[in-house]
Copies of this chain bind each other. A is one copy, B any other.
């Protein structure tokens, strides 16, 4: 089943290994990747261009430690909407709240589920009371505060790479 996906996507093991390396460090020089995979740097370049055109690679970003710049509080907020249909309006308003770093439309008890990053608990309270509760259609929220983020990573491509090797 994994092999099938790879065929549909038209990507092979070299593509996957390039992705795997760059997902850990987007600044890895192409020459170094080329050396590791025993291909030319031109090949790495062509593959990356293809992956970008296919929309698999969407960009790159710098990872910063939010705590080190004074953003100490991370929380998840379950949001109850008065009607599910109000979701798209609510999304637009949530866009304007910079503290909201993720927003999902979900199954289960909540209509929406947000991840927010704040400086401290006061800041969190301000976001909840002044920003979120002010949005029309939001009925009620439930907050889960993260005391420690123990794992933070991207999905692994190992399974795919293994599957590709067997083929």
Contacts and interface: CB of A to CB of B under 8 A. Distances in A.
A85 interface: no
Contacts of A158: 98
A42 to B, nearest CB: 18
Interface in A57-89: 57-66, 68-71, 74, 76, 78
B55 A65 contact: yes
Q: Which of A145, A158, A160 has the most CB of B within 10 A?
A: A145
B110 A144 contact: yes
A146 B105 contact: yes
Contacts of A19: 62, 64
A125 to B, nearest CB: 14
A143 B107 CA distance: 9
Interface string A155-166: 111111000000
